[in-house]
Structure 1
Amino acid sequence: MQVFFSEDHRLHFPQAELSGGQFVTPYERPSRVEYILRQLRERGFDQPADPGPCDMAPIRGLMDPGFLRFLETGWDEWIAAGMKGEMISATNPVRRTQMAREPRNIDGKLGYYCLAQETAITAGTWRAAQSSAASAQAAQRAVAEGAGAAFALCRPPGHHATADMFGGYCFLNNAAIVAQMFRDGGADRVAILDIDFHHGNGTQDIFYERGDVLFASIHGAPEDAFPYFLGYADETGAGAGEGANLNLPLLPGAGWDQWGSALDTAIARIRDFGPQALVVSLGVDAFKDDPISFFKLESGDFTRAGAAIARLNLPTVFCMEGGYAIEAVGINTVNVLEGFLNG
């Protein structure tokens, strides 16, 4: 399996995250990648390839131009306004407020485009986000050209980013970009399977009214887990997208029995949908020791998950998402890939 990865991910390393009322080192940090790379090397995967430059054309076709302009220029505006620290939102549009107008002030813009205050922007964030998307694009091109599967070691992750908001450590929605590239390349239907513990609210939002991309997600129940405000089972799509959104929320403490059953349900729906390509949002924070999750999967369960996904027998792109039990993130990620390859 080809692996794509950019060293530019290191340019995004905020020094602070607001968690539990305290500023802490972000759970989403560069060292996550090192543990994954180590496992890839030790288990005989090919040396990861640099993806090359990011192609902004498919991204511009999918995402809001004002949001992209903010990601590209926001840091310079922040510094020009005399701000000294990292970009952390202090305010956001809320219910019964004017949400249709982008503020002129950079502090207002930051809140306007932010969906979760735990995510900071630094001087290198935009370049890192582009490099992450470039890895996803390179993996898609490899699969479109005939590879059975490819792994994009994306950092920062992507599935919480909507077409016009960042948050949950995400800036550009890599899985959505890959799905759209498959569509633009001629695939009539594409499926996205999100196995990250946290609901892929951004991916759902992007495709919710489209019937050509199926989104299926297994995640912590939104009553109990970030991102809280999407991910309910009754969210099934709207308009042309009715029936093309499948949420499988699970309660705290869910282990393989419940999670594996949900995976079977998602796989059956994907099979019935009849896609020509599959995108997997590969988060491994369903692991029992993850610090910001509440599922109880063992490391071996991720191997079983990969084998189950392989039985769909579809051209597949894996895009790295979450997983914050640092010492286990590499083991669990590569378990999925090995399970897929041997499934």
Structure 2
Amino acid sequence: MLTFCSPAQNAHAPLVELVNGQAEAHAETPARLANMLAAMGPMCAPADHGMEAILAVHDADYVAFLQSAHAAWLAAGREGDAIGYAFPVRGRRPLALERIDGRLGQYSFDTVTPIAAGTWEAAYGAAQSALGALEAVASGETRQAFALCRPPGHHAGADYFGGYCYLNNAAIAARAAAARGMGPVAVLDVDYHHGNGTQDIFYADGSVFFASIHADPRTDFPYFWGHAEEHGTDEGEGANLNLPLPRGTGWATYQDALGKALDAVTRFGARTLIVSYGADTFAEDPIAQFALTTDDMHRMGARIGALGLPTVTVMEGGYNVAALGRNVAAFIAGLESA
């Protein structure tokens, strides 16, 4: 399978995250990428497809903020990574804020997603990897391609970042696919956490179907999105499917949810599939609570591959660094076996 990865993705190296009242070493580190690269063999460096596809998903003001935030943080006399501390509970609206502290809160929703010196370069590189994989599928060079995106993307909305995510790689690929006449497009999210940013971006867009299998948000991040009753709105009514599962879920239960999601993708009439793949469903992931094995990753990939659709997979989470490469490799092998 053609796999795409930009060298710039190593530039993002956040130091700490503020979680559960503590400053902890950040879980989303360059070591994740190094482990996957070691396990997966040769990579294709993506071409630079520019900003057009990114701006088709993300607001221009938000993108400009991501590009300038760390410099503004340093200019304010701060050190290290930029992390917000004040967030609007309701009534988010455009505001001409001046202090970097306020602007960080304006464009984010948590304290676990700092903007470091190389964050923009890495996020941009990850988006280019997703676009490179899409180009390979769109051109007919391959039927399946994998984008080894890091940082991940599915928690990022049109104008906000969070959950370690800054640019929504899956949404960028999905909208670019639709623009190229590859629709209807479906996005299937199999990360442990709900892809709230992807849901938000397409919630009123009936041209893109979104299905997510994830930990029940009553107990797990991102809490405020991903509940089963969220079906879409306006033109997107019925084009959003959430399948929340309890902590401790193993393959027997997970495969049933996966079957429901794949059936929904088929009923939608999808001609192109974008997969948000997170290896944090692994039983030994340090920040997740499902019980899938490496063999289950292969089974998951095989079930998805059996749809026979042109497929672009973008990497999301997975924080057991030692096991990450073999889990991703197992998933890809499953995709290819179908």
Please indicate, yes or no, whether the TM-score normalized by the shorter chain is above 0.5: yes
Kindly state the Cα deviation for residue 102 of structure 1 after the two structures are TM-superposed: 4.1
Q: Deviations over 1:155-184 (max 9, x none)?
A: 000000000000101000000000011111
Aligned mate of 2:261, from 244, 266, 283: 266
Kindly state the Cα deviation for residue 54 of structure 1 after the two structures are TM-superposed: 4.5
Q: Is residue 337 from structure 1 mapped to residue 312 from structure 2 by the alignment?
A: no
Whole-angstrom CA distance in 2 between matches of 1:32 and 1:105: 33
Whole-angstrom CA distance in 2 between matches of 1:10 and 1:58: 22
Q: Is the 8 A contact 1:54 1:130 kept in 2?
A: no
Kindly state the Cα deviation for residue 106 of structure 1 after the two structures are TM-superposed: 1.4
Whole-angstrom CA distance in 1 between matches of 2:70 and 2:325: 32
Kindly state the Cα deviation for residue 100 of structure 1 after the two structures are TM-superposed: 3.7
Aligned mate of 2:55, from 52, 60, 64: 60
Kindly state the Cα deviation for residue 208 of structure 1 after the two structures are TM-superposed: 0.2
Following superposition, which runs of at least 4 residues in structure 1 exceed 6 angstroms of deviation? none
Aligned mate of 1:137, from 126, 131, 148: 131
Query: Which runs of 5 or more structure 2 residues have no equivalent in the other structure?
Result: none
Give the TM-score normalised by the residue count of structure 2: 0.97
Give the TM-score normalised by the residue count of structure 1: 0.96
Q: Where do residues 159-308 of structure 1 align in structure 2 (5 Å cutoff)?
A: 159-308=154-303
Moved more, 99-108 or 317-326: 99-108
Q: Is residue 40 from structure 1 mapped to residue 34 from structure 2 by the alignment?
A: no
Q: CA RMSD in A?
A: 1.1
Whole-angstrom CA distance in 2 between matches of 1:102 and 1:312: 47
Moved more, 298-307 or 18-27: 18-27
Aligned position for 1:44 = none
Whole-angstrom CA distance in 1 between matches of 2:294 and 2:71: 43
Query: Which runs of 5 or more structure 1 residues have no equivalent in the other structure?
Result: 42-46
Whole-angstrom CA distance in 2 between matches of 1:287 and 1:300: 10
Letter in 1 for 2:13: F
Q: Is residue 158 from structure 1 mapped to residue 127 from structure 2 by the alignment?
A: no
Whole-angstrom CA distance in 2 between matches of 1:54 and 1:82: 35
Q: Is the 8 A contact 1:4 1:138 kept in 2?
A: yes
Q: Deviations over 1:86-134 (max 9, x none)?
A: 1011111113x66442412111101110111101111111111100000
Cα gap change, 1:101 to 1:3, in 2 (>3 Å): same
Q: Is the 8 A contact 2:10 2:33 kept in 1?
A: no
Whole-angstrom CA distance in 2 between matches of 1:219 and 1:185: 30
Kindly state the Cα deviation for residue 20 of structure 1 after the two structures are TM-superposed: 2.7
Aligned position for 1:127 = 121
Size of the alignment, in residue pairs?
A: 337
Q: Is the 8 A contact 1:54 1:133 kept in 2?
A: no
Q: Is the 8 A contact 2:250 2:292 kept in 1?
A: yes
Q: Is residue 111 from structure 1 mapped to residue 96 from structure 2 by the alignment?
A: no
Aligned position for 2:20 = 20
Q: Is the 8 A contact 2:19 2:111 kept in 1?
A: no
Aligned position for 1:29 = 29
Whole-angstrom CA distance in 2 between matches of 1:304 and 1:333: 12
Secondary structure in structure 1 of the residue aligned to 2:280 = coil
Letter in 1 for 2:290: F
Secondary structure in structure 2 of the residue aligned to 1:285 = helix
Secondary structure in structure 2 of the residue aligned to 1:249 = strand
